[in-house]
Structure 1
């Protein structure tokens, strides 16, 4: 598949085993790239979640990389057959030297989707695509925002910014004798116990422990855990990833009985203080819906919304299914899940959640 640009002919192909270094070198030159654009996710997702990845790489006539697009094919009897760039996270759409190459990468993904007979393709972008014949044929959802905090120079300045009410909420668990640890794989058991309990109570299937373990090991220089303990037990935790001066919290969980002492506030205070002390410039609280509970929680720390642009391609005459938990069609399943024993959710959750974007 070739097009001509003002510079040279550009070809798009699937990533070969010998091109991983070229891919990652290109990603590192692009400030708009996220950690989820790195090629390591292809192997990680295929091995721990058993999903097929299609990583498209664009090269010019001199074999220089000029664009990339990672995409995963999610396929199950329960949720159907579709593709997402990137699932499980908030970022991962095409990155290229020009809008024309960006469009060419998406056209290659659409061609692959037609071959696989997918119901739809979702491209998760943090900036709107420049209008083209490709994107003009898509719908775009702007229901979600990522909540981003520009970090101050010191934790003391953050404390002043959040106000006396929230500072008192942070002091409450300290009076109760909580403690915390930052670490890696050695904290995985404690993280996973809290995560599974919280997800069960929310009615949400859990990822496998292997998935988190492989992230911690594959991205050892970019991933860490924070676990808060109360009365000798883990009660609150966050999984952290960082890249290019920004720290992100893809997963955070707190057990319900610890909410009464505001342990969640303590968790985020320690994480934000750690980010500031280690010279990170921004903190990404993750995505929310405007004015939802999670949005308001993140807003109180000073985070500001950054619009998400999620583009959807569907075959002509078709309509993308609504897989959102808020759609209402999963209400009964959520209620049943909340009543299951924890060990059951740990066993049957991973095969289900790997098919959810």
Structure 2
């Protein structure tokens, strides 16, 4: 077996990795987050150094582990698979290959002197160096029917009533890409400020839209001509039908909560996923019984475990998490800043958060 590390991926290697992922025997171990094109997106938008570890047996690809080096003076150094995404950990044909890839990744962590390596898995893997994990959050995933009428019939009466309230405010849904990225980002940046969270850079979304032109799109909700809600949809780039549509980023302006724009938008997101041939809709991760968990559950989504595993070399895996108590005062301060300040400063901060 040969283990190789690539920092640059050419079109031939990208195609080979995609073919390997699409034909993998364990389809549940592969997600759209594994698409190797994400590596250039994150590198270009977040200024991360990328490492793709692959295993070959008789020149055939038998394992794949994407990693990005997240580094900043403020937080430190980390290897992550992958930032911004929820499910981009190890994919391999057998246990021997998994161990070989993890040995190489552990050595990479040592060479670059990271505090820890974080592997974002659906199911955990076994390795002596993976000594800690976080599994308190679950992915909320909805099995989609074949048409929007069936979706409507499956919704509870309370959910349908909230969607109908949105109809009364004459909301309109607009789909696009780079042409509406400014509208999306304006809403997104305001919402992130209100949450007390540093905002991702605008070019993260432009990179996603340029890299996945066939499967990434933005949806914008307008009220009286103003963009009041927006979402990024990623339709499965590794499966032509029956795949998973995910919504990695979505926001609504709080002053328009009375319009039920968020509920109205999510109904349209689900209908769009059905229209695009998706078999499931991934609402993203939530802590059980949290507000976001209950929001997703009302649509019929069911929890699927996630296991984020850690090779810790020093420090605490919870130290840079936004929900750490030590950040409470900073979050409150951030919420009071003008949006233009958060848009200016936020991207340089979030680049360093694993």
TM-score, length of structure 1 as denominator length: 0.92
Map of 2:163 onto structure 1: 170
Map of 2:323 onto structure 1: 326
Map of 2:221 onto structure 1: 228
Whole-angstrom distance in 1 between the partners of 2:96 and 2:82: 21
Residue by residue over 1:49-77, the C-alpha shift from the partner in whole angstroms, topping out at 9 and shown as x without a partner, is 111111101111x2111000001111111
How far is 1:279 from its partner?
2.3
Q: Are 2:14 and 1:12 aligned?
A: no
How far is 1:17 from its partner?
4.0
Aligned residues of 2:102 and 2:127 also touching (Cα < 8 A): no
Whole-angstrom distance in 1 between the partners of 2:247 and 2:316: 32
Q: Would you say how many aligned residue pairs link Structure 1 and Structure 2?
A: 343
Map of 2:141 onto structure 1: 148
How far is 1:35 from its partner?
2.2
Q: Are 2:341 and 1:344 aligned?
A: yes
How far is 1:42 from its partner?
2.0
Whole-angstrom distance in 1 between the partners of 2:76 and 2:159: 44
Aligned residues of 2:216 and 2:235 also touching (Cα < 8 A): yes
TM-score, length of structure 2 as denominator length: 0.93
Whole-angstrom distance in 1 between the partners of 2:90 and 2:245: 22
Q: Are 2:259 and 1:261 aligned?
A: yes
Q: Are 2:207 and 1:214 aligned?
A: yes
How far is 1:192 from its partner?
0.5
Map of 2:153 onto structure 1: 160
Whole-angstrom distance in 1 between the partners of 2:210 and 2:216: 8
Residue by residue over 1:205-226, the C-alpha shift from the partner in whole angstroms, topping out at 9 and shown as x without a partner, is 1111111001001011110011
Aligned residues of 1:88 and 1:356 also touching (Cα < 8 A): no
Quick one: which of 68, 71, 76 aligns to 2:67? 71
Structure 1 residues 183, 318: closer, same or farther in 2, change over 3 A?
closer
Whole-angstrom distance in 1 between the partners of 2:318 and 2:275: 44
Quick one: which of 222, 240, 249 aligns to 1:251? 249
Whole-angstrom distance in 1 between the partners of 2:73 and 2:94: 38
Whole-angstrom distance in 1 between the partners of 2:190 and 2:127: 46
Whole-angstrom distance in 2 between the partners of 1:215 and 1:229: 23
RMSD over aligned Cα atoms? 1.5
Whole-angstrom distance in 1 between the partners of 2:53 and 2:161: 50
* SS of aligned partner of 1:325: coil
Residue by residue over 1:244-278, the C-alpha shift from the partner in whole angstroms, topping out at 9 and shown as x without a partner, is 32100000100001111211000000111111233
Residue by residue over 1:114-135, the C-alpha shift from the partner in whole angstroms, topping out at 9 and shown as x without a partner, is 1111111111001122x34454
* SS of aligned partner of 1:252: strand
Map of 1:21 onto structure 2: 15
Residue by residue over 1:178-225, the C-alpha shift from the partner in whole angstroms, topping out at 9 and shown as x without a partner, is 111111111101100100111111111111111100100101111001
Moved over 4 A (4+): none
Q: Are 2:173 and 1:180 aligned?
A: yes
Map of 1:290 onto structure 2: 288
Segments of 5+ residues of structure 2 without an aligned counterpart are none
Whole-angstrom distance in 2 between the partners of 1:318 and 1:78: 14
Aligned residues of 2:71 and 2:77 also touching (Cα < 8 A): yes
* SS of aligned partner of 1:107: helix
* SS of aligned partner of 1:177: coil
Residue by residue over 1:57-104, the C-alpha shift from the partner in whole angstroms, topping out at 9 and shown as x without a partner, is 1111x2111000001111111111111111111011110111221121
